[in-house]
Chains A and B, each alone.
Chain A
Amino acid sequence: MVIQLRLDGADHELDIVSRTPELVVRLDGRLHRLGPAMPDGAGARLLVDDRQVAYEAAADGGAVYVRCAGRHFRVEIPDPRDAAGAGGGNADEIVAPMPGVVVRLARAAGDEVAAGDTVLTIESMKLQMNLTAQRGGRIARIVARQDQTFDKGDVLAVLESVEAAE
């Protein structure tokens, strides 16, 4: 699955490329090998490629506060479920994390999906992004159509559990 991160107002995409024999992630199209995060004095260090990054970090819901490379950062984790607002907040709805347009429907109503499977691809602010199923199940309906525009928080597809459908 692709994780969205936001830093200084810019969006970034991260996904896992391989988990063994080492953890490799793709960040904005570039591959990085990650070693273990080890305690280092009062802080910690992370092996990124062949470089040790000393850091302090603390997570608080939708944000991670990081101190590294000589300064403080606030990395936001936009949660598609939060973006749905009061009506959302469950893993059955795939919600638009930002306004955009539907580029491609990867799945159709009735398809079974596993968590992390791409259901549709959207384009927003010139960035394409895969929206994935939060859990395994069956697609109850696809609300969005190809080339359709939508607003942040709109429900684009709805999942149901396989048992419930049967």
Chain B
Amino acid sequence: MTTAATRQFTKILVANRGEIACRIIGTLQRLGIRSVAICHALDHRARHARMADEVHAITGETPVAAHLDIAQIVEIARRSGAEAIHPGYGFLSENADFAAAVADAGLVFIGPDAETIRLMGDKITSRRFAETHGVPVAPSAVPTDDLDAFLGDAAAIGFPLLIKAAAGGGGKGMSIVDDRSELADKAALAASEAKRYFADSRIYAERYIAEPRHIEVQVFGDGAGNAVHLIERECSVQRRFQKIIEEAPAVGLSEKLRREIWDAAVRLARAARYRNAGTVEFILAPDGAFYFLEMNTRLQVEHPVTEMVTGLDLVELQLAVAGGASLPSQDDIRTSGHAIECRICAEDPDRDFLPETGRVLRLAEPSTNLARFDSGLVAGQTVSASFDPMLAKLIVHGGTRDEAIARAGEALRETAILGVVTNLDYLARIVGHPAFRDGALHTGFLTEHAAALATPPADDEARTAALLVAFVSSPELRRQVFDVPEPYAAMGGWRN
């Protein structure tokens, strides 16, 4: 994949933390590239800082603010002699100003150009761009000052439809309209709600898709109009609009439909002269129609499932492309088997997935022959509310989906994180659920099966085992029970 003309990096700054920083540093180590980590003081005992060849402190009003401080991070990169910056995901990874600042400092941003990030970062321009280049978008009616005209456009979409606030999020100012008679009232209501919540009364309407699936395509572009895909991923199992289980390939799609989705994604990447790794996200309707949702201009959290089925290291591929190497040919990208990723988060599924904090007292990772475990965790580490609650990712591969599911269940049962509440048991219940095994997935899956997935009351035997294990495992209880005169009295004969 590399040619004589390509640039070999010798030192790279990783502008991130947690599991993704560790994962990137792992590839840098394997390739013999020196790594520079950044770390806030509150990120105590952070694993990524221990792994890196060099660590620099970052400061800010909050730990997150420190990770968003463009000038500070670029300055550290310059001072440390790094030639490039890998942004990971989150934080500054989709910040066009950051990409521009990195380039202005004479460094390589491992990702797309600032203009591409800007184009795809805006919902309306990216959607328009997709539509212009023949990528399907959901039928919609755009904001207008003329209410009657808007209602007419909206009705033309067909019912049911969804009215959303243009500036909105979190379900505010959003409503489902079942037929024409409700349209005017619901539009007025949504506009007033949008005004109240977002100080912006603009609304738009789009086709409502019941029980949609989230399908996305991993693409790589060379910045010169060439692009390839690394097949699709299925990310339909979501809570709070965030993915927690991802798979590659998607479940039960026809080869024809998969090809259409891949082609749409590659078409978009080529049209945008996309550089480096990106993901084109689609909504797939039960009738097989699919619509562009957005393009993520970075490495995704769920990239390991693609690595498991393609055998490629996506970070290595990112470095190669950033160094000017040509893309692998589409025909050389082969896939085998099925991969599943489970996101392990410090959250309580029985309390609406509220983030949890605590100290990791004990960490038991699944055996390496069963699962890949991407984590930024070390035992003794504090899990604070300062950062994202995702602690680790457990990724399995099997010859078939059934095999991958079985391995995921086994690996989840092998994993223990003690000292902070996590969703580990919840994930095990999801992969063990018959509807999951049947592949009856859609973005409302966890809500649909909420009752079956809630923590069941422990049976008598399990409760007894847990209590007795707690008894023998607590130094405090051992002291209470055994530091009493009785055993000393018994020992008196040989204790003088």
- What chain B residues lie within 8 Å of A77 (beta carbons)? 470, 474, 476-477
In the complex, the answer to whether B465 meets A58 with C-beta atoms within 8 Å is no
In the complex, the answer to whether B361 meets A71 with C-beta atoms within 8 Å is no
The answer to whether residues A70 and B428 also contact, given A5-B467, A7-B467, A57-B469 and a CB cut-off of 8 A, is yes
The answer to whether residues A64 and B473 also contact, given A69-B461, A70-B413, A72-B422 and a CB cut-off of 8 A, is yes
Residues 21-80 (chain A) with a chain B CB within 8 angstroms: 25, 27, 30, 32, 34, 37, 42-43, 46, 48, 53, 55-62, 64-75, 77, 79
B464: nearest chain-A partner, CB-CB: A27
CB distance from A137 to the nearest CB of B (A): 12
The answer to whether residues A43 and B364 also contact, given A67-B416, A115-B485 and a CB cut-off of 8 A, is yes
Interface string of A101-123 (1 = CB under 8 A from B): 00000000000001110000000
In the complex, the answer to whether B458 meets A8 with C-beta atoms within 8 Å is yes
CB distance from B364 to the nearest CB of A (A): 5
- What chain B residues lie within 8 Å of A53 (beta carbons)? 465, 468-469
B457 at interface, CB cutoff 8 A: yes
CB distance from A42 to the nearest CB of B (A): 5
In the complex, the answer to whether A48 meets B464 with C-beta atoms within 8 Å is yes
Residues 268-297 (chain B) with a chain A CB within 8 angstroms: none
- What chain A residues lie within 8 Å of B361 (beta carbons)? 58-60, 65
Counting chain A residues whose Cβ lies within 8 A of the other chain, the interface size class is: 35 or more
CB distance from B369 to the nearest CB of A (A): 13
Bound Cα distance A19, B481 (Å):
11
- What chain B residues lie within 8 Å of A156 (beta carbons)? none
- What chain B residues lie within 8 Å of A158 (beta carbons)? none
In the complex, the answer to whether B484 meets A116 with C-beta atoms within 8 Å is yes
- What chain A residues lie within 8 Å of B458 (beta carbons)? 7-8, 69, 71, 73
B359 at interface, CB cutoff 8 A: yes
Question: Which of the residues B413, B461, B468, B476 comes within 8 Å of A61, measured between beta carbons?
Answer: B476
Interface string of B439-477 (1 = CB under 8 A from A): 000000000000000010111011111111111111111
Bound Cα distance A71, B473 (Å):
17
Which of A1, A8, A69 lies at the interface centre, i.e. has the most chain B CB atoms within 10 A of its CB?
A69
In the complex, the answer to whether B471 meets A19 with C-beta atoms within 8 Å is no
Which of B362, B419, B469, B477 lies at the interface centre, i.e. has the most chain A CB atoms within 10 A of its CB?
B469
B487 at interface, CB cutoff 8 A: yes
B57 at interface, CB cutoff 8 A: no
In the complex, the answer to whether B419 meets A75 with C-beta atoms within 8 Å is no
A8: nearest chain-B partner, CB-CB: B458
Bound Cα distance A61, B480 (Å):
13
B131 at interface, CB cutoff 8 A: no
In the complex, the answer to whether B481 meets A3 with C-beta atoms within 8 Å is yes
- What chain B residues lie within 8 Å of A32 (beta carbons)? 464, 468
- What chain B residues lie within 8 Å of A60 (beta carbons)? 359, 361, 419
B424 at interface, CB cutoff 8 A: yes
In the complex, the answer to whether A57 meets B364 with C-beta atoms within 8 Å is no
A16 at interface, CB cutoff 8 A: yes
In the complex, the answer to whether B485 meets A65 with C-beta atoms within 8 Å is no
B156 at interface, CB cutoff 8 A: no
CB distance from A17 to the nearest CB of B (A): 12
A14 at interface, CB cutoff 8 A: yes
Which of A43, A74, A114 lies at the interface centre, i.e. has the most chain B CB atoms within 10 A of its CB?
A74
The 3 closest A-B pairs by CB, nearest first: A58-B361, A69-B462, A75-B470
Q: List 29 A-B contacts (CB under 8 A).
A: A7-B458, A7-B467, A8-B458, A12-B467, A14-B467, A16-B481, A19-B486, A32-B468, A34-B468, A34-B472, A37-B472, A42-B364, A43-B416, A48-B464, A48-B465, A56-B362, A58-B361, A59-B475, A64-B474, A68-B466, A69-B459, A69-B461, A71-B458, A72-B425, A73-B458, A79-B476, A114-B484, A115-B483, A115-B484
